[in-house]
Amino acid sequence: MIIYQVIFYFINLFHYLIHLIFLLSKKILVNLGFNIGCANISEINPLDRNGYLLIFTENQLCIAKIIVMYELKGGKHALVDNVNTIDTLSYISVCLFVHVYGNRLFTNDCSAGGKLYAHITPKEVIYYFGKNFSFSFQNNFLSLDENTSSFYSFFNNENAIKQLKHIFKN
């Protein structure tokens, strides 16, 4: 039992060190003129239609393909093609893929029939993968590539889900 506690302690320590390194590197990059945005969205990597997101909605991790994005302008929601910061959006319409098996297989089939679509808020976005990932889509199943799958695995554990629930509670 002590070994598990020691391992858990070092894992937490490692997590905090990585977070600190990330924050310091972000500050250095910003000072050098790079705008590193939240959720991997920035001037260098703008959020675009048809891009893929890792989202946390209804207490579960999902993959989402962006259909359209909206900003609130003059009291009305206006369509936008891309943004450099996610905070400017009012909501995002997505094709939703829910986890089916392993860390790679997702589907957008609805058990009641049809496909899964959703309007999500920007605060539900964890990470923007971009448009050019080697996802495989066949017979309504989305299969993640190895890099994206490892990223999903990182967030798909009991401790991470617990933290996400705490962060994303209404």
pLDDT in tens, 139-148: 888 888 888 8
Per-residue pLDDT band for 124 (boundaries 50, 70, 90) equals: very high
What percentage of the chain exceeds 70 in pLDDT?
79
Per-residue pLDDT band for 7 (boundaries 50, 70, 90) equals: low
Q: What confidence score (pLDDT) does residue 20 get?
A: 46
Q: For the chain, how far is it from start to end, CA to CA, in angstroms?
A: 36
Q: Which of 2-6, 132-136, 144-148 has the lowest mean pLDDT?
A: 2-6
Tens-place pLDDT, residues 63-114: 999 999 999 888 888 899 889 888 889 999 999 999 898 878 899 888 887 8
Q: What confidence score (pLDDT) does residue 89 get?
A: 93
Tens-place pLDDT, residues 14-38: 555 455 454 444 444 444 333 334 7
159 pLDDT more than 50? yes
164 pLDDT more than 60? yes
CB atoms within 10 A of CB 90: 16
User: Domain locations in the chain?
Assistant: 1-34, 38-168
Nearest Cα residue to 89 out of 54, 36, 49? 49
Q: What confidence score (pLDDT) does residue 24 get?
A: 47
